[in-house]
Structure formats: C-alpha cells, structure tokens
A and B are shown apart, each in its own frame.
Chain A
C-alpha cells in the first residue's frame, strides 16, 4: 500500500502490488463530476506491449511529432505499430519530444552520426491533461448518446464495447459518473460500479474536509476502492490469464 496520502489524481499506486496482478482485468476507474470535470482517476499497472530494436541510418520508419509526442506515422513492422510513441533511446527515457538528457528526438534521429541507435517503441501512456480531456469528452458523448436515442427516456451511454476493452458507466441521480474500463470478458462490473458509489458516499461525501465536485483526495477512499477492485476482479474473472 502506497505511503503517499492521496497526493494528486493520476496515481500509479497499482505498481506497488503488480507482483500479484496476473490478469489485471480492470484497467482504470474514472470519476467525473456534474460539469464533466475529472475528480478521481486510478489506473492499474499494466505492462504495455513494447518493442525495442536497434536501427541503422537511415531509419525506415516515418516519425512525426503529434500532441507533444514523437509517434510512428508509417513503417509498421515487428511489433512496432502506427501510433506507437518513442519511449526510450539507447535506454534513456524520452519525455515528449526531448530525451531525459535534453536532446531533441527528431533532430537526434536525423543525424547519421548517432547511429546505430536502439529505440524502444510502445503505446504512449496518457498524461493527466489528456485524462482530463478524455473525461470531459466522455461526459459530452454520454449526453449525445441520450439525445440521439430512437426510444423515449433513454439514459446516456452505459456500456461501450471495443475489441480490447469495455467501458461501463454509471450516472447517479446527482450527476456524478463512475466510469470503469475493464477487459471485455470481465463480469460483475455493474455491481462494482454500485460499490464504488457506496465507497464514494462513505469516504468522500461523509468526509467533512471534502468539498463537493472537487478532486477526491481522501486516503480511505483510495484504500477501499482498491479493496473493492481486488474483490471484483477475483469474483468476475473467467480465465483472463490465458
């Protein structure tokens, strides 16, 4: 259990216990307030598919700068897909378009004197700003889903399915949305959403120092949420480890 008492929203606290997370079927939890602002976020530590290869000049991949990251635009092969970001060069981590020791990535890779070079590619992790934007985006999409309904009295988007994850959303009567991203085969997420609502009422709302609609920074909320997630994963897993 992390010793940092509720500091900041995007906590990679799951990394502390990743040793026993074989088959982390619940990927993330988001809590969105009435106005669409993100007030809580949790991500599980999931080892993302990464590929590290040594390249010689000239690079046969096309890299471009997009959203402050260096992404692969063309040249998909060997585990390196379009959309993957440059994560590290020669073992040194890359932050945005600069390496950790201050070199600009595209310039460095354009210079033949730096080759052969070993580059690690992988799916980029979301920054906290991006998570904020995605939460607001989902808030609007939820409402549009209700407006475009061909039937009367529809709610917003309650479940969104893709081939790699399923997003479940529960909106309370007060307008708070609890969003959980999980493996498509994971069951019992509906009851998990209700449980998270209970934990929110017990440990955030009843906390006298918590202001409504503000980011949740309550240690007890974090602890109980993690416990509930562990219980839900064990209860709902149908061989996702295979």
Chain B
C-alpha cells in the first residue's frame, strides 16, 4: 500500500499564509512544462519545482517524453470504446500529474503538476494561444521548428505560470 501522504511534510499548515487553512493544507504546484511541435522538436522547456531529474541528458529526455506521448495517443485511440473528440487529457502517478493539450497543428503543451490540480485544459490553451501564437508564431524573427529563443516568451510564460492559482512557491 502506498502511504505517500506520510512522506509529504507540507501536509501541515505551513504554506501560503494568505490561503484558507483547507487550501494551504494541499500543496499544489507546477513542476515543469514542455512545448513540442508536430515533428517532435522540443520548442521550449521550463522548470519551477523539480526534485528529481530523469537521469538522462536533456535532449534524450525530450525525445523520451515526446515518444511516450505519441505512444499514449496511439494507445488511447485504439483502446477507446467510443469515438474520441479531445483524446488523451491527462495521467497521474502516485506523485505527479501530467496534463496534455494538443492543437490541430500538432503543437503539444505538456505540464507536470502536483496531484491536487484539476483539469487545466484552458490554462494550456491560453499558453498556446496567448503566449506561443502571439509571441512566437507572429514574430517574424522567430524561426519555426526550432527551440524558441525569445526572451519575451520565456519571461511572459514564467510570470503567467507563477500567477496561476495552483502555483505555490514552496521553499526549497
């Protein structure tokens, strides 16, 4: 039996004094975010709270993540008993939850969060439409199909994620 609740020190009321006691007891945060294009190129990666690295070089990690998502999509389309509309939405393990959003053009937004976070499809859609499309696609100096170099995109994305209601800046 997995007793993960016993291993989480932040189950006490030590986080976020501005939150109500019930919210503060649930640690919610964003671990990291990946952005892929339709060819599997990792356009962007940011991390906020990540305790464990994958143990492989970053390039390989991106490929593994993309490959896993590609396989999950194919798996889900075969397994589904009915015709799918949105497809694969998220998965969770005992420690984190991975949220997935894909656009019809093949741009994939992947966010790893804590288990307490509910569906955030609208957040991922906002990252695509208001940040990626506005700041990268519409920028004539940002070449498509490569890692995004735009500092504006990076900082706007960072401040957007930090402003999310389920992002809590835990110490350490």
- CB contacts (< 8 Å) of A161 on chain B: these are 88-91
CA–CA, A149 to B112, complex, Å? Answer: 9
Which of these, B52, B77, B84, B93, contacts A145 with CB under 8 Å?
Answer: B93
Q: What 0/1 pattern do residues 198 to 225 of A give for CB contact below 8 A with B?
A: 0000000000000000000000000000
Minimum CB distance partner of A184 in chain B: B89
* Cβ A163 vs Cβ B95 within 8 A: no
Q: Is the interface of B mostly helix, strand, loop or mixed?
A: mixed
Contact indicator A158/B71 (Cβ below 8 Å): no
- Interface: B155 (CB within 8 A): no
A151/B52 in contact, CB under 8 A:
yes
- Are the C-beta atoms of B93 and A162 separated by less than 8 Å? no
Interface positions of B from 26 to 54, Cβ below 8 Å from A: 31-32, 47, 49-52, 54
Residues of A within 8 A of B71 (CB): 137, 140-141
Determine whether B5 belongs to the interface, using a CB cutoff of 8 Å to chain A: no
Q: Is the interface of A mostly helix, strand, loop or mixed?
A: loop
For residue A157, which residues in chain B have a CB less than 8 angstroms away from its CB?
91-93
CB distance from B111 to the nearest CB of A (A): 11
CA distance A222 to B78 in the complex (A): 25
Query: Could you tell me if B84 and A162 are in contact, using CB atoms closer than 8 angstroms?
Result: yes
Name the 6 nearest CB pairs between A and B, nearest first: A150-B31, A154-B95, A155-B94, A151-B95, A160-B91, A150-B50
A residues near B (Cβ < 8 Å) are: 27, 46, 48-49, 81, 83, 123, 126, 130, 134, 137-138, 140-141, 144-165, 167, 181
Residues of B within 8 A of A (CB): 2, 4, 7, 31-32, 47, 49-52, 54-55, 61, 64-65, 68, 71-72, 75-96, 98, 112
22 inter-chain pairs at a CB distance below 8 angstroms, sorted by A residue, are A49-B83, A123-B83, A134-B79, A141-B68, A141-B71, A144-B64, A147-B54, A147-B55, A148-B54, A148-B65, A151-B51, A152-B51, A152-B52, A154-B52, A155-B95, A157-B91, A157-B93, A161-B88, A161-B89, A162-B76, A162-B88, A164-B80
